[in-house]
């Protein structure tokens, strides 16, 4: 419950330091705070984090994996801090014109097609250690019931009316596009003149239909209030400003159904089987379905965090909170928005043929290697350019070199013949510099211990801010400092005298403490690799929680309980160095 306790602490801090909010969640009202919601909500107790649900029109690519790995890492961090009973949901978005057309083009029945592609996403997540608690498919009957109930709520509250939609529609984005957001273009394959959406570049078609409209135009002021009173409503600030701009421009009512004769692949509008519910309304409700809506969602709602890519921020930060407000539910606490992965400066997309196959890259680099790269080079605010050369360089330097190198040094049988966790000598490395005559520790060595003690606190803030690259940078720096420390004292050059052996053990102890603490803190990013590291160091499963990383006994003048313990079995190199040309 660490995060909730912190949330409570921040309530009081927030009064004086609101202006610092973007820099640190610690000083803002945490989006994870327990609140007593208005409307239909009751007391919320449990953490809920989600990924978008993925379209099944084609198999997953690296960009999809990134959304999921980011959410998974933050969820694992929450769990490491003790958040129990949380939900981390993902799944597949299976209705709509785009999927209907994809099934036809593959000559398959729609559901059979969805079954197959959805399974690819499941496989990918299981291979890449994405530990979701729920995997939802919008074709499930439980979801259909939730959508029907939600629709009826909107309707009975008076927010849905029958109307006519005349305008542009992009099937690729499954989005209605206003006239002033459409421009002329030429289809590269046919050479024909077409219209495209300015924001996404995808082709739009004119559509005129009788359908149901949602009174989105009424929600501008309430949405602005939500945005302005909650610094994390849309995060980071770049996207918050974007959303603010849209709200200030004013909102138009939104078509929320399609004629069923044109779009049979979807959930029919309750009590009107001539209409199909708009795929985005259907899809967004998945977040409620996973927490038991309409009967049992109270413990989890509102969602703490929806992780989304920048292309779908409008749906999550404008439509979704408005739908929720209309249905008498609280809007989400936070919509965390990330940028995209590019391939040679172009957005990855199947039509461009430049997608990176995550299954293939997991085979080359291991799941945790790929996760490490994505999180080290992916930042929320800016697009990242993928290249295999970069992956090889980063993984060799950080995992094979920095962490793997330190582990090898500490555990080499020549240096550690008994294969036990060595003792720390408080005489040779006293708590304070220069306090004892036989102290061998230098000023630099004290700096290492200080960095190690401070690491959990600062890494914690980086996780909270979704600055995973900073988590990795700082931890790697600390490991680097430990490598420097070992190098400085060269334990392999020490002799066999009891004093020399005591000092060699002390040096190894400090280096292994660095690996232990770093290993615990990096578990959310590389669950498998760090588990192997910790096992090799002899750290028990019950000693791998966040609070275990916060304790560095040797720096506190306490004897560590694991001193003298036999190390875990040697199961080979931690991370195999990669060849340049993979």
Binding stretches for ligand MSP (CB under 6 A): 52-55, 63-64, 66-67, 93, 283-284, 286, 308-309, 311-312, 340-341, 347-348
Cβ–Cβ under 8 Å, residues 288 and 323 = no
Round to whole Å and give the CA distance between 349 and 424: 55
Smallest separation (angstroms) from ligand MSP to the CB of 336: 11
Cβ–Cβ under 8 Å, residues 321 and 223 = yes
Round to whole Å and give the CA distance between 358 and 389: 16
Smallest separation (angstroms) from ligand MSP to the CB of 277: 13
- Which DSSP symbol is given to 304? S
Both structure tokens of 233? 């409503």
Smallest separation (angstroms) from ligand MSP to the CB of 121: 9
Looking at the Cβ atoms of 355 and 578, the one nearer to ligand MSP is: 355
Q: Could you write out the DSSP letters of every residue in 517-569?
A: HHHHHTTTT-HHHHHHHHHHTT--GGG-SHHHHH--GGGGT---TTTTPBPPP
Q: State the Cα angle at 327 between 325 and 333, rounded to 5°.
A: 40
Looking at the Cβ atoms of 71 and 539, the one nearer to ligand MSP is: 71
Looking at the Cβ atoms of 196 and 308, the one nearer to ligand MSP is: 308
Smallest separation (angstroms) from ligand MSP to the CB of 84: 26
Round to whole Å and give the CA distance between 115 and 118: 5
In the complex, which residue's CB is closest to ligand MSP? 309
Cβ–Cβ under 8 Å, residues 99 and 53 = no
Looking at the Cβ atoms of 54 and 168, the one nearer to ligand MSP is: 54
Instruction: Give the H or E element holding residue 121.
Output: helix 110-127
Which residues 6+ apart lie within 8 Å of 160 measured at CB? 151, 154, 212, 213, 214, 215, 256
385: left (phi over 0), alpha (psi -120 to 50) or beta: beta
Looking at the Cβ atoms of 350 and 450, the one nearer to ligand MSP is: 350
Smallest separation (angstroms) from ligand MSP to the CB of 311: 5
Looking at the Cβ atoms of 348 and 504, the one nearer to ligand MSP is: 348
Smallest separation (angstroms) from ligand MSP to the CB of 54: 4
Smallest separation (angstroms) from ligand MSP to the CB of 96: 8
Looking at the Cβ atoms of 309 and 527, the one nearer to ligand MSP is: 309
Round to whole Å and give the CA distance between 282 and 140: 12
Cβ–Cβ under 8 Å, residues 85 and 377 = no
Looking at the Cβ atoms of 91 and 524, the one nearer to ligand MSP is: 91
From 507, 429, 21, select the one nearest 235 (Cα to Cα).
21
Give percent helix, percent strand, percent coil of the chain, each to the nearest 5. 50, 15, 35
Looking at the Cβ atoms of 28 and 283, the one nearer to ligand MSP is: 283
Looking at the Cβ atoms of 53 and 560, the one nearer to ligand MSP is: 53
Smallest separation (angstroms) from ligand MSP to the CB of 29: 26
By three-state DSSP, how is residue 445 classified?
helix
Smallest separation (angstroms) from ligand MSP to the CB of 157: 22
Distances (CA, A) of 216 to 84, 158, 170, 247, 322: 36, 12, 19, 11, 7
Smallest separation (angstroms) from ligand MSP to the CB of 45: 24
């Amino acid at each position: 419950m660490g995060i909730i306790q912190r949330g409570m602490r921040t309530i009081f801090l927030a009064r004086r330091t609101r202006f610092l909010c973007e820099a640190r969640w610690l000083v803002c009202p945490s989006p994870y705070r327990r609140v007593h919601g208005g409307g239909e909500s009751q007391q919320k107790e449990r953490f809920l984090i989600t990924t978008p649900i993925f379209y099944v029109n084609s198999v997953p690519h690296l960009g999809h994996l990134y959304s999921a790995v980011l959410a998974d890492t933050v969820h694992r961090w929450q769990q490491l801090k003790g958040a129990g009973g949380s939900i981390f949901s993902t799944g597949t978005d299976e209705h709509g014109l785009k999927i209907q057309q994809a099934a036809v083009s593959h000559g398959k029945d729609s559901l059979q097609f969805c079954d197959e592609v959805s399974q690819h996403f499941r496989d990918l997540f299981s291979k890449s250690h994405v530990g979701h608690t729920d995997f939802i498919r919008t074709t499930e009957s439980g979801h259909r019931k939730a959508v029907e109930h939600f629709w009826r709520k909107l309707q009975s509250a008076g927010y849905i009316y029958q109307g006519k939609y005349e305008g542009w529609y992009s099937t690729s984005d499954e989005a209605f596009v206003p006239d002033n957001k459409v421009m002329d273009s030429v289809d590269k394959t046919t050479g024909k003149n077409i219209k495209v959406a300015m924001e996404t570049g995808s082709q739009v078609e004119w559509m005129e239909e009788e359908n149901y409209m949602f009174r989105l135009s009424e929600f501008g002021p309430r949405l602005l209030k939500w945005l302005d009173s909650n610094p994390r409503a849309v995060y980071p600030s770049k996207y918050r400003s974007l959303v603010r701009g849209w709200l200030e421009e004013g909102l138009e009512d939104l078509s929320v159904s399609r004629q069923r004769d044109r779009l049979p692949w979807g959930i029919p509008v309750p009590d009107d089987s001539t209409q199909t519910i708009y795929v985005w309304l259907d899809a967004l409700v998945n977040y409620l379905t996973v927490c038991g809506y309409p009967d049992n969602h109270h413990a989890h709602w509102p969602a703490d965090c929806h992780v989304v890519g920048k292309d779908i921020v409008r749906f999550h930060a404008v439509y979704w909170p408005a739908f929720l407000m209309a249905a008498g539910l609280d809007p989400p606490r936070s919509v965390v928005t990330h940028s995209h992965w590019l391939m040679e400066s172009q957005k990855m997309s199947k039509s461009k043929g430049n997608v990176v196959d995550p299954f293939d890259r997991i085979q080359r680099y291991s799941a945790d290697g790929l996760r490490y790269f994505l999180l080290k080079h992916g930042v929320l605010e800016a697009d990242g350019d993928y290249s295999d050369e970069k992956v090889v360089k980063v993984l060799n330097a950080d995992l094979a070199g920095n962490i793997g190198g330190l582990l090898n040094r500490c555990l080499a049988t020549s240096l550690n013949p008994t294969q036990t966790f060595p003792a720390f000598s408080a005489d040779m490395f006293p708590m304070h510099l220069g306090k004892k005559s036989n102290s061998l520790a230098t000023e630099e060595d004290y700096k290492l211990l200080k960095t190690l003690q401070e690491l959990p606190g600062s890494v914690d803030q980086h996780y909270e801010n979704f600055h995973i690259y900073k988590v990795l940078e700082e931890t790697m720096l600390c490991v680097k400092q430990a490598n420097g420390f070992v190098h400085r004292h060269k334990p392999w050059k020490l002799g066999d005298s009891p004093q020399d052996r005591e000092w060699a053990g002390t040096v190894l102890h400090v280096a292994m403490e660095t690996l232990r603490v770093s290993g615990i803190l990096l578990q959310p990013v590389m669950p498998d690799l760090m588990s192997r590291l910790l096992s090799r160091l002899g750290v028990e499963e019950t000693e791998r929680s966040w609070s275990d990383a916060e304790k560095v006994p040797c720096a506190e003048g306490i004897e560590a309980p694991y001193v003298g313990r036999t190390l875990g079995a040697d199961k080979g190199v931690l991370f195999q160095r990669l060849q340049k040309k993979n």
